[in-house]
Amino acid sequence: MPLSHQEPAPRPISRFWPFRNKYYGWAVLSAGVMSSFATATTQGPIVGLFNQPIRNDLGWSVTDFTIAFVVGTVAGGFLSPFVGKVLDRRGARAVATISGVIMALMMIGLSNMQEPWHFWIFLGIARATAASGAQLSVMVALASWFVRMRGRAVGFIGTGQRTAQAIIPLPLVAIIGWLGWREAWLVLGVLVVLLLVIPSAVFVRRKPEEYGMLPDGQVHDGKVGTISEIAESLESTWTLGQAKRTRQLWLLIIGQGGVILSLNATNLHMTAHLQNNGLSLALAATVITIFALTGALTVLPWGFAMERVHVRYLGLTSTALFTVAMLLLASASTFLEGVLFGLTYGLGIGAWTITSRMLFANYFGRQHFGSIRGFAGRLMVVANPAGPLFGALIFDATGSFNTVFYIFAGVFVLSFLSFLLATPLRKPASAQSEPA
């Protein structure tokens, strides 16, 4: 690589960051942790808590409730490629901030809905915006600011998400019981503004090179190359076109698609399944808290592990744990059985939280991560709604989710095999100059 040694003037960082002698990537990470906490409000474990209260109040079916979840995940999958390209070119700050504003507005709409189609639109837009905007923004930003320490950075982000799933359910159940489910949506909207909109606008920035820094806070000695040139050399970078020509990309899409299909459905329907099997809403929410707390406590150690082993091994571990968890959940009819499921599922969630966020970045590098992840997201769009809708239809037809979770165990086995075959790759030198 020719060395120009011509470094553009660095941009100023946020004046609200008080630790001027500390690497600014930690400011971006802090905003990402809060953003991750906030986006959990549109995910299955928390949305699922509204299932019976809304259906009992408005007389909807499980399928009516699930369609909103499906609409959001499909829309998010279709938007991801376009948002990914914007993120690669413009950075995450504006995308994350605007996404948070849209989510908050949709939650105001959810607090006033009357018809199923209201729910489909408001929750659908909120979920799509969270997945394709806020969550993808966090992943792209972290992939830019952290390379060597990417595992621990993603671990902190995952801790935010799983902590939200551990902390929010029981207070939310109390708010639903005390004030009502409409007021509960307003509380979640305020949470999104405080933890997603404001931190993203204040702290998120694009790439460390633009601010005179190197990823991971490394120090530039000024002797070899510019900061931008050194940053580009830290890891192999594949364009989207190059990645498409590898079998690993397609195996990763199959593996992650299978997990998404089963995981989204499990997160959405587990509360109703446990209630249907005899547990109260409070006990079902406690099981959710147990799995989320287990995930929150283990995600950071999994992150440190990813810095020492290839992310593929975390994918194998998580899918093995998910397979066991599905077998436990299918037959869970007591609180103790629910706890065993929660612990196993939580361990798998901790490993998968790391895997899902940086799977494509660790295989193909950070430079085109948004585009590659967006492309994969579009192909996995069918998996997102298929699982939740399949579960709802089976329940409405049979009155039970048991068979659904046995089938999901088989899907997790398929994902395990896909990760097993997706061996780490090395970018050939001749590929460096290939077009996207």
Looking at the chain, the whole-number percentage of residues with pLDDT higher than 90 is 28
This prediction's pTM: 0.68
pLDDT in tens, 108-160: 999 999 888 898 889 888 988 887 788 878 877 887 888 788 778 878 887 88
Give the list of residues 6+ apart from residue 177 with CB closer than 8 angstroms, or none: none
User: Once rounded to an integer, what is the mean pLDDT over residues 3-9?
Assistant: 50
Instruction: Give the span between the Cα atoms of 149 and 147, in whole angstroms.
Output: 5
Residue 435 lies in a domain: no
At residue 141, the pLDDT reads: 81
In a domain, 90, yes or no: yes
What is the pLDDT averaged over residues 167-195? 93
| pLDDT at site 10 | 61
Q: How many domains is the chain built from? A: 1
Q: What is the pLDDT of residue 343?
A: 95
102's CB contacts (< 8 A; 6+ apart) are 125, 126, 129, 133
Is residue 35 one of the residues assigned to a domain? Answer: yes
Q: Tell me whether residue 129 is in a domain.
A: yes
pLDDT > 50? residue 231: no
| Residues sharing a CB contact under 8 Å with residue 331, sequence separation 6 or more, in sequence order | 337, 402
**pLDDT (tens digit, 9 = 90+) per residue, 52-102?**
898 889 888 878 887 877 777 677 767 767 777 777 777 788 889 999 999
Categorize the per-residue pLDDT at 7 as very low, low, confident or very high, splitting at 50, 70 and 90: low
pLDDT at 389 over 70: yes
What torsion, rounded to 10 degrees, do the Cα atoms 116, 121, 122, 123 define? Answer: 80
- Take residue 318 and report the two structure tokens written for it: 């998580």
- Mean of per-residue pLDDT scores for the chain: 82
Q: What would the mean pLDDT of 1-28 be, rounded to a whole number? A: 69
Q: What is the pLDDT of residue 8?
A: 55
Residue 10 domain flag = no
Hunting for tokens 């509960």 — which residue is that? 184
Q: Is 98 contained in some domain?
A: yes
Confirm whether 20 is domain-assigned: no
| Residue 232 pLDDT | 54
The residues near 396 (Cβ < 8 Å, ≥ 6 apart) are: 61, 62, 63
Around Cβ 139, how many Cβ atoms within 10 Å? 24
Place of tokens 């490394």: 218
Q: What is the pLDDT of residue 6?
A: 53
Q: What percent of the chain has pLDDT over 70?
A: 87
The two three-digit tokens of residue 264, written as one number = 């989204």
pLDDT at 318: 95
- CA nearest 111: which of 38, 183, 190, 188? 183
Give mean pLDDT, residues 198-219. Answer: 80
Whether the predicted pLDDT of 284 surpasses 70: yes
CA distance linking residue 320 with residue 208, whole number of Å: 37
CATH classification at residue 291: 1.20.1250.20
- Does the structure show a pLDDT above 90 at 268? no
Model confidence at 236, pLDDT cuts 50, 70, 90, reads low
Is residue 227 pLDDT above 70, yes or no? no
* pLDDT average, residue stretch 183-208: 92
Length of the chain: 436
Residue 18 lies in a domain: no
DSSP string for 345-394: HHHHHHHHHHHHHHHHHHHH-STTHHHHHHHHHHHGGGHHHHHHHHHHHH
Supply 216's token pair. 């991971």
> Can you give the residue range of the structural domain that contains 379?
25-425
